[in-house]
Structure 1
Amino acid sequence: MGAVRAKRFLTGLMALSAAALGWSLAASPALSDQTGSASGLPVPRYVSLKSDRVNLHEGPSKDHRTIWVFLRAGLPVEITAEFEIWRKVRDSEGTEGWVLHSLLSGRRTALVTPWKKGVDSTLYDKPSTQSATAAILQPNVIANVRSCDGAWCRVWGDGFKGYIQQSNLWGVYPNEKIE
C-alpha cells in the first residue's frame, strides 16, 4: 500500500473510530498537513467564540443568509476551512457555516460530554481515576483548557478546576497534546 493510500486509510479508520465515540469526524491535526489559505494555521483546528452573539452564515460574506446565531461566548468550534476573513466552523452538534474571523479566539475551550445527555462527568484533583473528586460536571459545561497530555486535560471554569479524561471533551482532538 502506497504512503498516500495508507494515510487515507488510517485517516478513514480514525474518523470511523472517532464517530463511534462521538468525536469530531474531521481528521486529527497530526494526520492533516493542510494549512488555512488565509491564516497559515492548521485546518482543521479548534477555537472558541469571542462574543455571546455570533451569526453563522450560509456562505463567506454578510450577504449570505444567517442560518444560526450562537449565544454563548467561549463555545468551542472547529475551523474546517478559510476564505479571506471568513472561517467555516462546525459546532459539537455538526452545524456548519461561516463566521468572521474577528469573532473567534485562539483560546482553547471544550464542552464536557455533549453527546451524553443527562450523564455527568467526574473532574479529578489529579490525572487519575483513583484521585479525589474535584467536581461533578454536567454535559455541555464549557471548560477552559489549560493543558492536555493525550489522555488527560487540566481544565478550569466558573467554580471548578481539575483534571478530566480527554475522551470526555469536545474541543480537543484524541491524543492531542496542549501545553
Structure 2
Amino acid sequence: MWRRALVALSLIGVAGAALAIDYRSVSVPAAILYDAPSQAGKKLYLIKAQTPVEIVVRLDGWLKVRDAEGTLAWIEAKSLGDKRTLVVTAPRAEIRQSDKDEAAVLVELDKWVAVEFIEPASPGWAKVRHRDGATGYIRATQVWGL
C-alpha cells in the first residue's frame, strides 16, 4: 500500500514538472508572429526584442506562444533566446533595494518596460536588472513573465 502511494506521488511530481510554464524572450530586434507554424502563414504583428512570451506548443522549429495580453501566435524558435525578461503590466512599477514594501525605490518603471529576470526572491518578488544597470526587487504582481 505504501509503495502504491509513493508511486502515485512520484507520478504527480513528474506530471507537475511536465506542466511547468516555460517563458523565453525575443532575442532578435523584431520577430514576426504568424497565425500558423509557417512563413506562408498570415503575418499577425511584430514583437520587439526582450519581449517575454510563454511557450505553449513546440512544433518543428516553431513555437506557439502567448504574450502578456494573452494573444496566441506562432514564432520561429530561432527568434527566442534563453535569457529571460519580464514586462511591466501595472501602470507603474518600482524596482526596490530589497524585497520589502518599505525598501527604497531605485527605479520607477512605466507599463510595457522590459527588465531582465535574475532569480526568484521571497514569495511575491523577483530579482531583476533594468537596462540602466539598476538591480533590485520588483513585485510579481507588477510584471508578466514569471
User: TM-score, normalized by length of structure 2?
Assistant: 0.81
CA distance in 1, matches of 2:108, 2:45: 31
Larger radius of gyration: 2
Residue 132 of structure 1 pairs with residue 108 of structure 2: no
Any gaps of 5 or more consecutive residues in structure 1? Answer: 1-29, 35-41, 173-179
For residues 44-123 of structure 1, what are the structure 2 equivalents within 5 Å? 44-70=21-47, 72-112=48-88, 114=89, 116=90, 119-123=91-95
**Partner residue in 1 for 2:139:** 165
Q: Distance in 2 between matches of 1:152 and 1:93?
A: 21
Separation (CA, whole Å) in 2 of partners of 1:96 and 1:107:
21
* Unmatched 5+ stretches in structure 2: 1-14
Q: Helix, strand or coil for the counterpart of 1:60?
A: coil
Deviation at 1:109, TM superposition (A): 0.4
Report how many residues are paired: 130
SS in 2 for 1:98: strand
* Other-structure match for 2:114: 142
- The RMSD of aligned alpha carbons is 1.7
- The answer to whether the 8 Å contact 1:148/1:166 transfers is no
Matched-pair identity in %:
26
| Structure 2: distance between partners of 1:45 and 1:64 | 24
Which residue identity lines up with residue 76 of structure 1 in the other structure? Answer: P
Aligned-pair CA distance for 1:161:
2.0
CA distance in 2, matches of 1:86, 1:132: 43
Q: Residue type of the partner of 1:99?
A: I
Structure with bigger strand share is 2
Instruction: State the structure with bigger RCO (CA 8 A, min sep 6), 1 or 2.
Output: 2
- Post-superposition offset of 1:134: 1.0
Q: Deviations over 1:143-170 (max 9, x none)?
A: 0010113421111122232111122110
